[in-house]
Amino acid sequence: MNKILIVTVFFGLNVAAVMAQKVKLTHVEPMNWWVGMKHHQLEILLHGDAISKYQVEVQGLPILGIVKTENPNYIFVTVETEGRNSGKYPIRLLDKGKELTHFDFELKEREYSSAQRKGFSSADVIYLLMPDRFANTYPGGDTHPETVEKADRTNPNGRHGGDISGIIDHLNYIKELGATTIWTTPLLEDNEETYSYHGYAQSDLYKVDPRYGNNYYFQFLVQEAHRQGLKVIKDEVPNHWSSKHWMIKDLPTKTWKHEFPSFTRSSYRTSTQMDPYASQKDKSASEDGWFDTSMPDMNQSNPLLLNYLIQNTIWWVEFAELDGLRVDTYSYNDKDAIAKWTKAIMKEYPNLNMVGEVWLHNQAQISYWQKSSPIGAIDSYNSNLPSVMDFTLHDAISQAFKEENQGWDQGMVRVYENFVNDFLYADPNKLLVFMENHDTKRFNEYCPSFADYKMALTLIATTRGIPQIYYGSEIGMKGSKDKGDADIRQDFPGGWKTEDKHSAFYSNQDANKNLGIPGRTETEEAYFQFTKTLLNWRKNQPVIHTGKFKQFVPENNVYVYFRYDEQETIMVILNNSTKEESINLTRFQEVLKGKKIFNNVFTNEMVNVENPIMKLTPKTATIFRVN
């Protein structure tokens, strides 16, 4: 969409003169804006061969500044859009007063209440999917002339052909499951020669990868999701770009990206960002090193680049009508620059939510990156980031459910101790809680018992925070991280209608009726139905979304906690023991307050508890509404 070919104006009579005066603008970014934006002083990037020698005029918009860098192929022109009406405002390149070419820059009307859009919250459940591995509705686009890597489903690390249309076609499945929000890994163009399916090496920040569709397909996906009551989160990657990005091949300035005498990979030691004793060399090794050979690290201390990133993110939120952002490798960014970037986005959309990937294993270090963190306040740092990912809970889950016997620091005590440290966070209810994602081990691989899945899902669905599940978990999908990323990112069965032998998008009866192939297996159906029951129940439980949280020290690998408010009390019991265990309800009277009527959420069975001793079946999750 940004490969804008501008109509060229010729003057003169002979061919040599015409060729000499031919001028093209190959990129104009952003290509449009909207009226009524808080970010109204707009910096427009113009790119074309040797254009810096020409003058710039913007008809109808005051020019506040022009920057010409050492690369003659760029002009950055800042215009004032405040108070202007929607319409077209031609940007003209002039040579001695004569127009060489122009681009009709457009100011558009905003959607009503766009600035007040509400983001995702603890009332939501996020469904994370990888577009290339989810569903392929349009096989004709699997290989595209504008991109290098061709589709090859036989290659575990190759492009498999999932597309935006495939997501749209299965929104009803996500809705039936009980999720309320979709987070897709990046949909923008990734034109690397290999491994381009994951999308994290973006080669054009204003263009959806043509193998997925186009910008308007993405816009339609969000609109259709909204029609079905679902929200959409876009995966942002401000830290690094693709080595194939057109701007990396023709750098605007020498300081556009971090450069070293030879390839220097990030140390990934992002704890140096808040280490009061860290050497500058170690901090730079983490912050400035490249994430990978194909992912150059961007220098956000360059004000032109930082403003470019801010405007690009705002443009996508406005264009696609997004409900939120997930920010990749948040703690790898220049920490002062990313705070400015985050603040600018939140200023434009004060009710939006964005969650940052802060893959650390210490609550204090994770807390540092959340808005108004008491830890960040120690060195006067405020990221302005509303939500962070609870990786320490993920760590606890990945070990606790494999430990059948409770030790001093094993079993369900790991989960308990994670929440003990919530005092470190500015707002624990805005933490993203998860069992797994696209970069971690699959839970069902290392905990293959259905009973373990039910306990772990019950935990993330009922504790404080914003639960996130990963596509395929709900049907028992497995995958070994030890075998490589491709194994934890397998194709969803049934997403390739003409190739797959069964479809997990449908029950067996519906698949046979509508597709002529088997649907979910018996095991897949059991996982799906449990997930569907739990998540749909959660939708209508404000006490789970915003209620208070109280936990009790686990005993015999049994973990009991409550969510409660003035109207409701919910009791959650996770018996991770392989034996029948008993709990004495007398221990929990500070919350139960003498109540004896319990309603089992899963079975809808009413239990009148006269005997305070309650027996628990091994390896079970139980949710009681206490009446």
The residues assigned a catalytic role are 328, 357
Q: Please, which residues bridge with residue 494 across strands? A: none
Backbone angles phi, psi at 2, to 5 degrees: -95, 0
CA 262 vs. chain centroid, Å, equals: 32
620-626 and 558-564 beta bridge pairing: unpaired
Which positions ≥6 away from 198 have C-beta within 8 Å?
A: 130, 132, 185, 186, 190, 438, 485, 489
How far is residue 65's CA from residue 43's CA, in Å, rounded to a whole number?
9
2 sits in the region (left: phi over 0; alpha: psi -120 to 50; else beta) called alpha
How far is residue 557's CA from residue 576's CA, in Å, rounded to a whole number?
5
Per-residue buried b or exposed e for 59-83, using 16+ beta carbons within 10 Å of the residue's own CB: eebeeeeebebebebbbbbbbebee
Residues 105, 91 contacting (CB under 8 angstroms) = yes
Residues 508, 519 contacting (CB under 8 angstroms) = yes
DSSP string for 522-575: HHHHHHHHHHHHHHHHHHT-HHHHH-EEEEEEEETTEEEEEEE-SS-EEEEEEE
Backbone angles phi, psi at 517, to 5 degrees: -130, 160
Cis previous bond, 386, omega within 30: no
Residues 35, 109 contacting (CB under 8 angstroms) = yes
How far is residue 53's CA from residue 130's CA, in Å, rounded to a whole number?
45
How far is residue 310's CA from residue 99's CA, in Å, rounded to a whole number?
31
Residues 36, 85 contacting (CB under 8 angstroms) = no
How far is residue 431's CA from residue 42's CA, in Å, rounded to a whole number?
33
At 594, which amino acid appears? G
Which positions ≥6 away from 156 have C-beta within 8 Å?
A: 484, 486, 487
Residues 113, 119 contacting (CB under 8 angstroms) = no
Which 8-state DSSP code applies to residue 252?
Answer: S
DSSP3 helix / strand / coil % (the chain, rounded to 5): 30, 25, 45
Per-residue buried b or exposed e for 520-529, using 16+ beta carbons within 10 Å of the residue's own CB: beeebbbbbe
Which positions ≥6 away from 216 have C-beta within 8 Å?
A: none
Tokens encoding 206: 């204003």
Residues 85, 106 contacting (CB under 8 angstroms) = no
